[in-house]
């Protein structure tokens, strides 16, 4: 079984291609899915590394897990509207992919969670929602 994890989480992308989490979504977070799913695809967004976010890097995430892929959209350059613009991009991407996966997971509350649940329901794909 394959899982599509739809998230509004921000990652930081370095010039060398390394991808860092800015919080709790590190390897341990996704490793819990390994026994259940053959493959996990994470949808989220990234910012390129800069002086303002370099200190927010918590853990590198794209080096050690073979069963995990990231499909990330680039965050908006408009700070005030960043969350809304990015959520729209993530929703469009997830909408086009949901029907190709066995299960969908998301974390609520978030702007993308409602859209992901709705699309999963339309496509008759089981959806798991984590409440935080």
pLDDT of 77 > 70? The answer is: no
**Averaged pLDDT, 72-89:** 78
Q: Mean pLDDT, the chain, as a whole number?
A: 87
Q: Which domain holds residue 103?
A: 2-131
Higher-confidence residue: 115 or 63?
115
* CATH number of the domain to which 90 belongs: 3.40.50
How many domains does the structure of the chain reveal? 1
How much is the pLDDT for 4? 95
How much is the pLDDT for 52? 79
How much is the pLDDT for 54? 79
**Averaged pLDDT, 71-88:** 78
Proportion of the chain in helix, strand, coil states, percent, rounded to 5: 30, 35, 35
Q: Which residues pair with 104 in a beta bridge?
A: 4, 127
pLDDT of 59 > 80? The answer is: yes
Tell me the whole-structure pTM to 2 decimals. 0.87
Confidence of residue 103 (pLDDT cuts 50, 70, 90): very high
């Amino acid at each position: 079984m394959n899982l599509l994890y739809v998230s509004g989480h921000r990652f930081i992308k370095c010039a060398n291609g390394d991808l860092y989490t800015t919080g709790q979504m590190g390897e341990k977070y996704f490793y819990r899915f390994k026994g259940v799913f053959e493959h996990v695809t994470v949808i989220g967004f990234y910012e390129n590394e800069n002086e303002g976010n370099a200190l927010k890097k918590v853990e590198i995430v794209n080096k050690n897990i073979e069963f995990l892929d990231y499909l990330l959209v680039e965050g908006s350059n408009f700070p005030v509207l960043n969350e809304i613009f990015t959520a729209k991009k993530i929703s469009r991407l997830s909408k086009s992919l949901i029907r190709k996966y066995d299960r969908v997971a998301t974390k609520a509350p978030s702007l993308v969670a409602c859209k992901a649940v709705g699309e999963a329901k339309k496509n008759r794909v089981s959806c798991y929602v984590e409440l935080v």
